[in-house]
Copies of this chain bind each other. A is one copy, B any other.
């Protein structure tokens, strides 16, 4: 069993190597511009080798997508250390936007791209995505239950905040804020978040 174990481990290591570089390229260049050949070049293997570990480009895409949500969820969950739910909520917003702007191509992949995923993927996909949303939604509920927000529908509030955050991130990433300078956008975002959370707060 030791041998097959090692084999399995080696196989996993290779898969990880490919994923690592593929992810880096998807992130740096975007989905369309990343070709199997370019990934192969980077890891210094032949394109054919990649097909030993992944059925096709879509499968790679799917795994990366999933990993994206894993990373995202991990970052999000760190905020669970914050006891005060409203502060936690604020922190989660920060995590969200930081993720979006530190890895815009990743964000694009996860939240914007019309993904070339097959049906099976569709189900799996939401494992981590769903978990992230639930985690966020729970904090919203806590805020309301503990009276930090006016008594409103949990879902309406979660839905609103998510939309608001994604709106800012995606308009910025897809360059629809050209009526403002980059500096202005930065300040407007900060101002907007403060305002939004301000008006939602039950003072």
Within 8 A of B (CB), among A117-148: 126, 130, 133
Q: How many residues of A contact B (CB 8 A)?
A: 40
Residue ID in chain B nearest A201 by CB atoms: B199
Interface residues of A (CB under 8 A from B): 30, 32, 111-114, 126, 130, 133, 152-153, 155-157, 159-160, 162-168, 170-171, 174-176, 178-180, 184, 188-189, 191-192, 195-196, 199-200
Taken together as a complex, chains A and B put the C-alpha atoms of A188 and B155 apart, in Å, by 7
Count of identical protomers in the assembly:
4
A117 to B149, alpha carbons, bound, how many Å?
44
Cβ of A66 to closest chain B Cβ, rounded Å: 15
What would 17 A/B residue contacts be, using CB atoms closer than 8 Å? A111-B171, A113-B174, A130-B179, A133-B179, A153-B191, A155-B180, A155-B188, A159-B168, A159-B188, A159-B192, A160-B192, A162-B171, A163-B164, A163-B192, A167-B168, A170-B170, A199-B200
- Chain B residues contacting A155 (CB-CB under 8 Å) are 180, 184, 188, 191
